[in-house]
Amino acid sequence: MAGKMRRFLLVTILAVVTLASCVPAIQTPVAAPTLTALPLPTGTQLPTPLPTLTPTLSPTPDPYSAWTIDHLRARTYGGGQIEFLEVIEQNLYFIRYLIRYPSDGLNIYGFANVPNEEGSYPVIIALHGYIDPSLYNTLDYTTYYADALARAGYIVLHPNLRGYAPSDSGENLFRVGMAIDVLNLIALVQSQSGAGAADALRTARPDRIGLWGHSMGGGVTTRVLTVTDDVQAAVLYAAMSGDELKNFEAIRGWSGQTRGLDELNVPAEALNRIAPMYFFGNINAAVSIHHGKADALVPLDWSVTTCDQLTSLVKNVECIYYENMPHTFTGEGNEEFIQNTVRFFDRNLKTP
């Protein structure tokens, strides 16, 4: 009996030990670590975000602005004075002076015919045509016309346009520089004329100014007329076209491809702002157009077109075409032209 009891206890103990080994051990919980925020070091600042920069587009400069009619109309002219440097000659009708005046930093020379008798005289600015500058002299072919106008009772100013010695040379794309020289001269005549003037222009009427231009000078005159209202009458004698494309295509041909190339590289859009023909509506002066039917240089059609355009705009214009007359008139045709010119200026500059 005692032996059975010992075997029972042994079996019971073994069973308990076996069960104990099958139960997982109880884990003691471990505390989670505490997170502590560290302060920033003294004086440290958070970076400020940089603003987003939006690019600003600057307008592209207009490389042709200075030659446009609108620009020429907007700017001012004058400054300085016309200097009467010396007497070149004197005759029964007038005194001829050598003159000089400033034009946009250039010195422009020429001559002035001033009637001898005291009085009050309209002023005509006479502009020569193209001559090889190396062959030009101050008393060139247009002197004949200037003298005829002076004998008829006008003060005549005849500048050597820029590039013609002794005048200085300067920027002259589309011959705009020459037009600027004329516009500066007009402003100086207005500021230096009339009663109280201390020089030869004391007898000049600043409110009676005319232009006379042959060939190249006629083209310059046309541009000036679209810019200023200070001219009352103008004669265009075998003048260049108001269409600059036609002008410089012809000049390129006449010069053997040596001149006119820069002008022909200007885009059409800019030409529309530069060419006088697009601004004929600005013209308020009376205009007298003269052209020889035998002109072998400047086409008669250019003057006919200008005449038609001005007529369609109801401008004060007369147009006279001369049989058998070349680019520069001769003989009886030339005398008829001078008579017509004097009559036109008398009608528009001498009448009240």
Taken in order of first residue, the domains within the chain and their CATH numbers are 82-350 (3.40.50.1820)
Is pLDDT of 52 > 80?
A: no
Query: How much is the pLDDT for 57?
Result: 59
Could you give the CA distance from residue 191 to residue 88 in angstroms, rounded to a whole number? 24
- Res 26: pLDDT: 38
Of the chain, the percentage scoring pLDDT greater than 70 comes to 82
pLDDT at 56: 56
The 10 Å Cβ neighbour count of residue 267 is: 9
Q: Pick 77 or 40 by higher pLDDT.
A: 77
Is the pTM of the predicted complex or chain greater than 0.75? yes
What confidence tier does 46 reach under pLDDT thresholds 50, 70, 90?
very low
Neighbours of 143 (CB within 10 A): 18
3 state DSSP class of 298: coil
Which of the four pLDDT bands, split at 50, 70 and 90, describes residue 17? very low
Per the CB < 8 A criterion, the answer to whether 288 and 214 are in contact is no
Assess whether pLDDT exceeds 70 at residue 49: no
Kindly report the CA angle at 345 between 318 and 329, in degrees rounded to 5?
Answer: 70
290 SS3 class: strand
Higher pLDDT, 135 or 351: 135
Q: Where are the alpha helices (DSSP H) in 193-287?
A: 216-227, 244-254, 261-264, 268-274
- pLDDT tens figures, 169-207: 999 999 999 999 999 999 999 999 986 676 899 999 999
